[in-house]
Structure 1
Amino acid sequence: MQFVTADTHFFHSDLLGVDDFAPRPFPNVQVMNQTIIDNWNAKVAPNDTVYHLGDIALYFTKPAKKSHAAVLDVLNQLNGHLILIKGNHDSRDLFKYLAAHNYEFGGAPKFRFHDVGVLLKYDHRQYYLTHYPLMLGIAPQIINLHGHIHHYAVPVKENINVGVDSPELDYLAAKPAFGEPLNFAEVEQMVEGKATDFAKRQ
Protein backbone atom coordinates (compact mmCIF):
# COMPACT_ATOMS: atom_id res chain seq x y z
CA MET A 1 0.00 0.00 0.00
CA GLN A 2 1.12 3.57 -0.66
CA PHE A 3 0.94 6.51 1.73
CA VAL A 4 1.94 10.17 1.80
CA THR A 5 2.87 12.61 4.57
CA ALA A 6 4.93 15.73 5.19
CA ASP A 7 6.33 18.02 7.88
CA THR A 8 6.90 15.54 10.68
CA HIS A 9 9.58 17.90 12.08
CA PHE A 10 11.01 15.30 14.44
CA PHE A 11 13.01 16.87 17.29
CA HIS A 12 11.74 20.40 16.51
CA SER A 13 11.23 21.80 20.00
CA ASP A 14 10.22 25.29 18.81
CA LEU A 15 6.93 23.88 17.51
CA LEU A 16 5.83 22.71 20.95
CA GLY A 17 3.23 24.54 22.99
CA VAL A 18 2.14 27.96 21.77
CA ASP A 19 4.17 28.47 18.61
CA ASP A 20 2.14 30.70 16.29
CA PHE A 21 3.02 28.85 13.07
CA ALA A 22 2.36 25.21 13.90
CA PRO A 23 1.64 24.60 17.59
CA ARG A 24 1.91 21.02 18.79
CA PRO A 25 0.48 20.01 22.17
CA PHE A 26 3.35 17.88 23.45
CA PRO A 27 5.43 18.40 26.61
CA ASN A 28 8.72 17.58 24.86
CA VAL A 29 10.11 16.30 21.56
CA GLN A 30 10.53 12.77 22.88
CA VAL A 31 6.77 12.47 23.42
CA MET A 32 6.06 14.10 20.05
CA ASN A 33 8.49 11.78 18.23
CA GLN A 34 7.08 8.68 19.90
CA THR A 35 3.48 9.73 19.20
CA ILE A 36 4.25 10.08 15.49
CA ILE A 37 6.12 6.75 15.45
CA ASP A 38 3.28 4.93 17.20
CA ASN A 39 0.52 6.43 15.05
CA TRP A 40 2.53 5.83 11.86
CA ASN A 41 3.18 2.17 12.68
CA ALA A 42 -0.44 1.54 13.64
CA LYS A 43 -1.37 2.25 10.02
CA VAL A 44 1.66 1.48 7.82
CA ALA A 45 2.79 -2.13 7.36
CA PRO A 46 6.50 -3.01 7.20
CA ASN A 47 6.56 -3.46 3.42
CA ASP A 48 4.35 -0.50 2.49
CA THR A 49 5.70 2.61 0.76
CA VAL A 50 5.48 6.10 2.27
CA TYR A 51 6.21 9.27 0.31
CA HIS A 52 7.53 11.82 2.81
CA LEU A 53 7.25 15.28 1.25
CA GLY A 54 9.96 17.00 3.23
CA ASP A 55 10.91 18.55 6.56
CA ILE A 56 11.65 15.24 8.19
CA ALA A 57 13.32 16.69 11.26
CA LEU A 58 14.85 19.84 12.66
CA TYR A 59 17.80 18.92 14.85
CA PHE A 60 21.31 20.28 14.60
CA THR A 61 24.32 19.28 16.68
CA LYS A 62 28.09 19.54 16.57
CA PRO A 63 29.28 17.22 15.27
CA ALA A 64 26.39 16.91 12.81
CA LYS A 65 26.73 13.11 12.78
CA LYS A 66 25.14 13.01 16.24
CA SER A 67 21.88 14.57 15.02
CA HIS A 68 21.99 12.63 11.75
CA ALA A 69 22.29 9.39 13.74
CA ALA A 70 19.34 10.39 15.95
CA VAL A 71 17.17 11.12 12.90
CA LEU A 72 18.21 7.81 11.32
CA ASP A 73 17.26 6.01 14.53
CA VAL A 74 13.75 7.54 14.40
CA LEU A 75 13.30 6.75 10.70
CA ASN A 76 14.40 3.17 11.30
CA GLN A 77 11.55 2.84 13.81
CA LEU A 78 9.00 3.78 11.14
CA ASN A 79 7.38 1.00 9.13
CA GLY A 80 7.72 1.00 5.38
CA HIS A 81 10.02 1.97 2.56
CA LEU A 82 10.47 5.74 2.65
CA ILE A 83 10.67 7.90 -0.47
CA LEU A 84 12.09 11.18 0.79
CA ILE A 85 11.50 14.44 -1.07
CA LYS A 86 13.80 17.18 0.17
CA GLY A 87 12.21 19.95 2.22
CA ASN A 88 13.70 23.30 3.12
CA HIS A 89 14.78 21.95 6.52
CA ASP A 90 16.33 18.74 5.12
CA SER A 91 20.05 19.18 4.62
CA ARG A 92 21.96 17.54 1.84
CA ASP A 93 24.33 16.20 4.51
CA LEU A 94 21.44 14.41 6.21
CA PHE A 95 20.40 12.79 2.93
CA LYS A 96 24.00 11.72 2.32
CA TYR A 97 24.14 10.21 5.82
CA LEU A 98 20.89 8.30 5.28
CA ALA A 99 22.14 7.08 1.89
CA ALA A 100 25.36 5.85 3.48
CA HIS A 101 23.31 3.86 6.02
CA ASN A 102 20.66 2.64 3.60
CA TYR A 103 19.73 -1.03 3.42
CA GLU A 104 17.31 -3.31 1.60
CA PHE A 105 14.42 -5.41 2.84
CA GLY A 106 11.37 -6.82 1.13
CA GLY A 107 13.04 -6.33 -2.24
CA ALA A 108 13.46 -2.54 -1.97
CA PRO A 109 15.71 -0.04 -0.15
CA LYS A 110 14.60 1.57 3.09
CA PHE A 111 15.25 5.04 1.63
CA ARG A 112 14.98 6.58 -1.82
CA PHE A 113 15.66 10.26 -2.42
CA HIS A 114 14.35 13.07 -4.62
CA ASP A 115 15.45 16.70 -4.58
CA VAL A 116 12.35 18.29 -6.09
CA GLY A 117 9.39 15.98 -6.49
CA VAL A 118 7.76 12.85 -7.87
CA LEU A 119 5.03 12.48 -10.49
CA LEU A 120 2.85 9.59 -9.40
CA LYS A 121 -0.03 7.99 -11.28
CA TYR A 122 -2.63 6.45 -8.98
CA ASP A 123 -6.05 5.22 -10.08
CA HIS A 124 -7.49 7.88 -12.45
CA ARG A 125 -5.31 10.79 -11.35
CA GLN A 126 -1.80 12.08 -11.58
CA TYR A 127 -0.29 13.48 -8.43
CA TYR A 128 2.74 15.73 -8.35
CA LEU A 129 4.36 15.25 -4.95
CA THR A 130 6.50 18.18 -3.79
CA HIS A 131 7.51 19.88 -0.59
CA TYR A 132 6.51 23.38 -1.66
CA PRO A 133 3.02 24.02 -3.07
CA LEU A 134 3.11 24.56 -6.83
CA MET A 135 0.88 26.54 -9.15
CA LEU A 136 0.38 24.10 -12.01
CA GLY A 137 -2.08 26.14 -14.06
CA ILE A 138 -4.92 24.42 -15.91
CA ALA A 139 -4.18 20.74 -15.42
CA PRO A 140 -7.44 19.18 -14.17
CA GLN A 141 -6.09 15.65 -13.84
CA ILE A 142 -2.98 16.67 -11.90
CA ILE A 143 -3.19 17.30 -8.17
CA ASN A 144 -0.27 18.81 -6.30
CA LEU A 145 0.24 17.09 -2.95
CA HIS A 146 2.57 19.16 -0.79
CA GLY A 147 3.59 20.18 2.69
CA HIS A 148 5.60 23.17 3.91
CA ILE A 149 2.80 25.50 5.00
CA HIS A 150 1.67 23.54 8.10
CA HIS A 151 -1.77 24.78 9.25
CA TYR A 152 -2.38 26.89 6.15
CA ALA A 153 -4.01 25.90 2.86
CA VAL A 154 -3.46 27.13 -0.69
CA PRO A 155 -6.71 28.68 -2.00
CA VAL A 156 -6.61 26.49 -5.11
CA LYS A 157 -8.60 23.27 -5.25
CA GLU A 158 -5.84 21.34 -7.09
CA ASN A 159 -3.36 21.88 -4.22
CA ILE A 160 -3.71 19.59 -1.22
CA ASN A 161 -1.64 20.03 1.93
CA VAL A 162 -0.90 16.53 3.25
CA GLY A 163 1.30 17.62 6.17
CA VAL A 164 0.70 16.19 9.64
CA ASP A 165 -0.83 19.47 10.84
CA SER A 166 -2.72 20.42 7.66
CA PRO A 167 -6.11 22.10 8.07
CA GLU A 168 -7.26 20.16 5.01
CA LEU A 169 -7.34 16.99 7.08
CA ASP A 170 -10.76 18.33 8.11
CA TYR A 171 -12.06 17.18 4.71
CA LEU A 172 -11.71 13.59 5.92
CA ALA A 173 -14.68 11.81 7.45
CA ALA A 174 -12.39 10.64 10.25
CA LYS A 175 -9.42 12.84 11.09
CA PRO A 176 -6.23 10.76 11.37
CA ALA A 177 -4.19 10.57 14.53
CA PHE A 178 -1.29 13.03 14.65
CA GLY A 179 1.56 11.87 12.41
CA GLU A 180 -0.45 9.13 10.72
CA PRO A 181 0.34 9.03 6.97
CA LEU A 182 -2.53 9.24 4.50
CA ASN A 183 -3.46 6.47 2.12
CA PHE A 184 -4.64 7.45 -1.35
CA ALA A 185 -8.29 6.73 -0.61
CA GLU A 186 -8.00 9.44 2.04
CA VAL A 187 -6.14 11.72 -0.38
CA GLU A 188 -8.98 11.28 -2.88
CA GLN A 189 -11.47 12.13 -0.15
CA MET A 190 -9.53 15.35 0.53
CA VAL A 191 -9.42 16.21 -3.20
CA GLU A 192 -13.17 15.71 -3.57
CA GLY A 193 -13.91 17.54 -0.32
CA LYS A 194 -11.90 20.58 -1.34
CA ALA A 195 -13.44 20.63 -4.84
CA THR A 196 -16.94 20.49 -3.32
CA ASP A 197 -16.03 23.23 -0.86
CA PHE A 198 -14.80 25.46 -3.69
CA ALA A 199 -17.89 24.75 -5.83
CA LYS A 200 -20.11 26.01 -2.99
CA ARG A 201 -18.28 29.33 -3.07
CA GLN A 202 -18.97 29.98 -6.77
Structure 2
Amino acid sequence: MTVWFTSDLHLGHARLLELSEARGAAFASIDEHDARLVANWNETVAPEDTVWVLGDVDMHGKDASLARISTLAGTKILVAGNHDACWAGMRDGWRKRDRYLAAGFAAVMDFGVAKLPPVRQGGSATRVLLSHFPYAGDSHDEDRYSQFRLRDEGVTLLHGHAHDAFREGRTPKGTWGINVGVDWWDYRPVSAERLAEHLEDLRHERVAPVAGDSDR
Protein backbone atom coordinates (compact mmCIF):
# COMPACT_ATOMS: atom_id res chain seq x y z
CA MET A 1 0.00 0.00 0.00
CA THR A 2 1.24 3.48 -0.91
CA VAL A 3 0.23 6.76 0.71
CA TRP A 4 -0.24 9.70 -1.64
CA PHE A 5 -0.83 13.43 -1.22
CA THR A 6 -2.46 15.97 -3.51
CA SER A 7 -4.35 19.26 -3.43
CA ASP A 8 -6.17 21.90 -5.44
CA LEU A 9 -7.81 19.74 -8.08
CA HIS A 10 -10.50 22.41 -8.54
CA LEU A 11 -12.75 20.04 -10.46
CA GLY A 12 -15.42 21.86 -12.42
CA HIS A 13 -13.82 25.28 -11.85
CA ALA A 14 -13.90 26.67 -15.40
CA ARG A 15 -12.63 30.12 -14.43
CA LEU A 16 -9.42 28.57 -13.10
CA LEU A 17 -8.29 28.07 -16.71
CA GLU A 18 -8.42 31.87 -17.05
CA LEU A 19 -6.78 32.56 -13.70
CA SER A 20 -3.96 30.02 -14.12
CA GLU A 21 -1.74 30.57 -17.16
CA ALA A 22 -0.26 27.08 -16.81
CA ARG A 23 -3.58 25.27 -16.59
CA GLY A 24 -5.07 27.45 -19.32
CA ALA A 25 -2.20 26.42 -21.60
CA ALA A 26 -2.44 22.75 -20.65
CA PHE A 27 -6.20 22.28 -21.05
CA ALA A 28 -8.61 23.49 -23.72
CA SER A 29 -11.68 23.16 -21.49
CA ILE A 30 -12.64 22.33 -17.92
CA ASP A 31 -14.06 19.01 -19.11
CA GLU A 32 -10.66 18.10 -20.55
CA HIS A 33 -9.00 19.31 -17.34
CA ASP A 34 -11.21 17.19 -15.11
CA ALA A 35 -10.96 14.09 -17.32
CA ARG A 36 -7.16 14.32 -17.36
CA LEU A 37 -6.89 14.74 -13.58
CA VAL A 38 -9.16 11.75 -13.02
CA ALA A 39 -7.21 9.64 -15.54
CA ASN A 40 -3.85 10.65 -14.04
CA TRP A 41 -5.10 9.81 -10.54
CA ASN A 42 -6.29 6.35 -11.57
CA GLU A 43 -3.07 5.65 -13.48
CA THR A 44 -1.13 6.49 -10.31
CA VAL A 45 -3.18 5.24 -7.36
CA ALA A 46 -4.03 1.59 -6.69
CA PRO A 47 -7.31 0.53 -5.04
CA GLU A 48 -5.53 -0.41 -1.80
CA ASP A 49 -3.71 2.94 -1.53
CA THR A 50 -4.61 5.97 0.60
CA VAL A 51 -4.74 9.53 -0.75
CA TRP A 52 -4.76 12.66 1.40
CA VAL A 53 -6.44 15.51 -0.49
CA LEU A 54 -5.31 18.76 1.14
CA GLY A 55 -8.22 20.89 0.11
CA ASP A 56 -10.03 22.54 -2.81
CA VAL A 57 -11.24 19.38 -4.48
CA ASP A 58 -13.78 21.51 -6.37
CA MET A 59 -15.65 24.81 -5.99
CA HIS A 60 -18.16 24.71 -3.14
CA GLY A 61 -19.34 21.10 -3.41
CA LYS A 62 -21.18 21.07 -6.72
CA ASP A 63 -23.04 17.84 -7.49
CA ALA A 64 -21.35 17.26 -10.85
CA SER A 65 -17.81 17.60 -9.52
CA LEU A 66 -18.44 15.68 -6.30
CA ALA A 67 -19.82 12.84 -8.44
CA ARG A 68 -16.28 12.33 -9.77
CA ILE A 69 -14.93 11.47 -6.31
CA SER A 70 -16.34 7.94 -6.40
CA THR A 71 -14.47 7.32 -9.68
CA LEU A 72 -11.09 8.02 -8.04
CA ALA A 73 -9.11 4.99 -6.84
CA GLY A 74 -8.03 4.40 -3.25
CA THR A 75 -9.18 5.45 0.19
CA LYS A 76 -9.56 9.23 0.11
CA ILE A 77 -9.24 11.59 3.09
CA LEU A 78 -10.06 15.28 2.70
CA VAL A 79 -8.39 18.04 4.68
CA ALA A 80 -10.81 20.80 3.72
CA GLY A 81 -9.71 23.98 1.94
CA ASN A 82 -11.30 27.38 1.57
CA HIS A 83 -13.16 26.42 -1.62
CA ASP A 84 -14.68 23.24 -0.15
CA ALA A 85 -18.27 23.68 1.04
CA CYS A 86 -17.43 21.65 4.15
CA TRP A 87 -14.55 23.92 5.21
CA ALA A 88 -14.70 25.12 8.81
CA GLY A 89 -14.35 28.71 7.66
CA MET A 90 -17.50 28.45 5.56
CA ARG A 91 -20.79 29.33 7.24
CA ASP A 92 -22.46 26.05 8.26
CA GLY A 93 -19.60 24.19 6.59
CA TRP A 94 -19.85 21.42 9.14
CA ARG A 95 -23.35 20.66 7.87
CA LYS A 96 -21.93 19.83 4.43
CA ARG A 97 -19.46 17.18 5.60
CA ASP A 98 -21.96 14.38 5.12
CA ARG A 99 -22.15 15.30 1.42
CA TYR A 100 -18.41 14.81 1.02
CA LEU A 101 -18.53 11.52 2.91
CA ALA A 102 -21.38 10.34 0.72
CA ALA A 103 -19.41 11.37 -2.35
CA GLY A 104 -16.59 8.98 -1.46
CA PHE A 105 -14.29 10.48 1.15
CA ALA A 106 -13.55 8.16 4.07
CA ALA A 107 -13.04 11.14 6.38
CA VAL A 108 -13.17 14.94 6.32
CA MET A 109 -11.06 17.01 8.71
CA ASP A 110 -9.53 20.44 9.18
CA PHE A 111 -5.92 19.37 9.79
CA GLY A 112 -4.01 16.12 9.89
CA VAL A 113 -0.77 14.45 10.94
CA ALA A 114 1.11 11.82 8.94
CA LYS A 115 4.57 10.31 8.58
CA LEU A 116 6.87 10.21 5.59
CA PRO A 117 8.86 6.97 5.34
CA PRO A 118 12.61 6.75 6.03
CA VAL A 119 14.73 7.68 3.05
CA ARG A 120 17.32 5.02 3.79
CA GLN A 121 17.30 1.66 5.53
CA GLY A 122 17.47 2.05 9.28
CA GLY A 123 16.44 5.69 9.13
CA SER A 124 13.54 7.32 10.93
CA ALA A 125 10.15 8.32 9.61
CA THR A 126 9.44 12.06 9.42
CA ARG A 127 6.37 13.45 11.16
CA VAL A 128 4.54 16.02 9.03
CA LEU A 129 1.52 18.24 9.54
CA LEU A 130 -1.21 18.43 6.90
CA SER A 131 -3.17 21.57 6.12
CA HIS A 132 -4.65 23.26 3.11
CA PHE A 133 -2.77 26.44 4.01
CA PRO A 134 1.03 26.91 4.12
CA TYR A 135 2.73 28.51 7.10
CA ALA A 136 3.21 31.58 4.89
CA GLY A 137 2.62 32.47 1.26
CA ASP A 138 -0.42 32.46 -0.96
CA SER A 139 -1.56 32.26 -4.57
CA HIS A 140 -2.52 35.93 -4.19
CA ASP A 141 -0.32 38.92 -3.42
CA GLU A 142 -1.09 38.81 0.29
CA ASP A 143 -1.52 35.99 2.78
CA ARG A 144 -5.20 35.27 3.39
CA TYR A 145 -6.95 33.21 6.08
CA SER A 146 -4.22 33.75 8.66
CA GLN A 147 -6.56 32.59 11.44
CA PHE A 148 -6.76 29.15 9.81
CA ARG A 149 -3.03 28.62 9.36
CA LEU A 150 -1.07 26.36 11.67
CA ARG A 151 1.58 27.90 13.92
CA ASP A 152 5.14 27.09 12.96
CA GLU A 153 6.57 24.93 15.73
CA GLY A 154 9.31 23.39 13.64
CA VAL A 155 7.31 20.54 12.07
CA THR A 156 7.43 20.08 8.30
CA LEU A 157 4.12 21.01 6.69
CA LEU A 158 2.49 19.52 3.59
CA HIS A 159 -0.07 21.89 2.11
CA GLY A 160 -1.85 23.21 -0.96
CA HIS A 161 -3.49 26.60 -1.59
CA ALA A 162 -0.50 28.25 -3.29
CA HIS A 163 -1.18 26.73 -6.72
CA ASP A 164 1.82 27.47 -8.95
CA ALA A 165 3.18 30.36 -6.83
CA PHE A 166 5.79 28.14 -5.15
CA ARG A 167 6.56 24.46 -4.66
CA GLU A 168 8.20 24.78 -1.26
CA GLY A 169 9.05 27.41 1.30
CA ARG A 170 11.13 27.76 4.45
CA THR A 171 10.00 29.85 7.38
CA PRO A 172 12.26 32.17 9.39
CA LYS A 173 12.59 29.30 11.87
CA GLY A 174 13.97 27.11 9.10
CA THR A 175 10.90 24.87 8.85
CA TRP A 176 10.14 23.46 5.43
CA GLY A 177 6.71 23.38 3.84
CA ILE A 178 5.99 21.52 0.59
CA ASN A 179 3.11 22.31 -1.75
CA VAL A 180 1.54 19.01 -2.86
CA GLY A 181 -0.87 20.73 -5.27
CA VAL A 182 -1.32 19.15 -8.69
CA ASP A 183 0.29 22.17 -10.39
CA TRP A 184 3.74 20.98 -9.25
CA TRP A 185 3.39 17.20 -9.58
CA ASP A 186 2.32 16.53 -13.17
CA TYR A 187 -1.37 16.96 -12.30
CA ARG A 188 -1.44 13.81 -10.19
CA PRO A 189 -0.91 12.71 -6.56
CA VAL A 190 2.65 12.54 -5.24
CA SER A 191 3.80 9.64 -3.07
CA ALA A 192 5.02 9.82 0.51
CA GLU A 193 8.29 8.22 -0.63
CA ARG A 194 8.92 10.91 -3.24
CA LEU A 195 8.12 13.67 -0.78
CA ALA A 196 10.49 12.14 1.78
CA GLU A 197 13.28 12.14 -0.79
CA HIS A 198 12.43 15.68 -1.88
CA LEU A 199 12.51 16.93 1.70
CA GLU A 200 15.85 15.22 2.23
CA ASP A 201 17.23 16.94 -0.87
CA LEU A 202 15.96 20.32 0.32
CA ARG A 203 17.52 19.87 3.73
CA HIS A 204 20.87 18.96 2.17
CA GLU A 205 20.61 21.58 -0.59
CA ARG A 206 20.67 18.96 -3.32
CA VAL A 207 17.75 20.66 -5.08
CA ALA A 208 16.99 24.35 -5.44
CA PRO A 209 13.67 25.53 -3.99
CA VAL A 210 11.20 26.67 -6.66
CA ALA A 211 10.09 30.29 -6.23
CA GLY A 212 12.24 30.76 -3.14
CA ASP A 213 11.51 30.80 0.57
CA SER A 214 8.10 31.86 1.90
CA ASP A 215 9.44 33.73 4.90
CA ARG A 216 7.52 36.94 4.27
TM-score by length of 1: 0.75
CA distance in 1, matches of 2:108, 2:97: 8
User: What corresponds to 2:101 in structure 1?
Assistant: 99
Task: Name which of 162, 169, 184 aligns with 1:155.
Answer: 169
Instruction: State the 4+ residue runs in structure 1 displaced beyond 6 angstroms.
Output: 198-201
Q: Using the TM superposition, give the Cα deviation of residue 99 of structure 1 relative to its aligned residue in structure 2, in angstroms.
A: 2.5
1:164 and 2:182 matched: yes
Task: Name which of 167, 188, 191 aligns with 2:199.
Answer: 191
User: What corresponds to 1:33 in structure 2?
Assistant: 34
Does the aligned pair in 2 maintain the 1:11–1:57 contact within 8 Å? yes
Q: Which moved more, 1:187-196 or 1:81-90?
A: 187-196
Does the aligned pair in 2 maintain the 1:15–1:22 contact within 8 Å? no
User: What corresponds to 2:186 in structure 1?
Assistant: 177
SS in 2 for 1:131: coil
Does the aligned pair in 2 maintain the 1:21–1:150 contact within 8 Å? no
Does the aligned pair in 1 maintain the 2:129–2:157 contact within 8 Å? yes
User: What corresponds to 2:107 in structure 1?
Assistant: 112
The 1:138–1:79 alpha-carbon spacing in structure 2 relative to 1, beyond 3 Å, is same
Q: Using the TM superposition, give the Cα deviation of residue 97 of structure 1 relative to its aligned residue in structure 2, in angstroms.
A: 1.2
Q: Which runs of 5+ in 1 are unaligned?
A: 61-66, 103-109, 167-175
User: What corresponds to 1:43 in structure 2?
Assistant: 44
**Deviations along 1:75-106, whole A, 9 cap, x unmatched?**
1111011100010000126533123455xxxx
Does the aligned pair in 2 maintain the 1:12–1:59 contact within 8 Å? no
TM-score by length of 2: 0.70
User: What corresponds to 2:159 in structure 1?
Assistant: 146
Q: Which runs of 5+ in 2 are unaligned?
A: 87-92, 118-124, 136-149, 210-216
The 1:91–1:195 alpha-carbon spacing in structure 2 relative to 1, beyond 3 Å, is same
SS in 1 for 2:39: helix
Q: What count of residue pairs does the alignment treat as equivalent? A: 173
CA distance in 2, matches of 1:71, 1:200: 36
RMSD (Å) for aligned C-alpha atoms? 2.6
Q: Using the TM superposition, give the Cα deviation of residue 177 of structure 1 relative to its aligned residue in structure 2, in angstroms.
A: 3.1
Give the counterpart letter for 1:177 in structure 2: D
The 1:21–1:197 alpha-carbon spacing in structure 2 relative to 1, beyond 3 Å, is farther
CA distance in 1, matches of 2:80, 2:208: 35
Does the aligned pair in 2 maintain the 1:22–1:150 contact within 8 Å? no
**Deviations along 1:42-100, whole A, 9 cap, x unmatched?**
1101121000000000267xxxxxx2x31232111110111000100001265331234
Q: Using the TM superposition, give the Cα deviation of residue 197 of structure 1 relative to its aligned residue in structure 2, in angstroms.
A: 3.8
The 1:159–1:50 alpha-carbon spacing in structure 2 relative to 1, beyond 3 Å, is same
CA distance in 2, matches of 1:13, 1:53: 20
Give the counterpart letter for 2:10 in structure 1: H
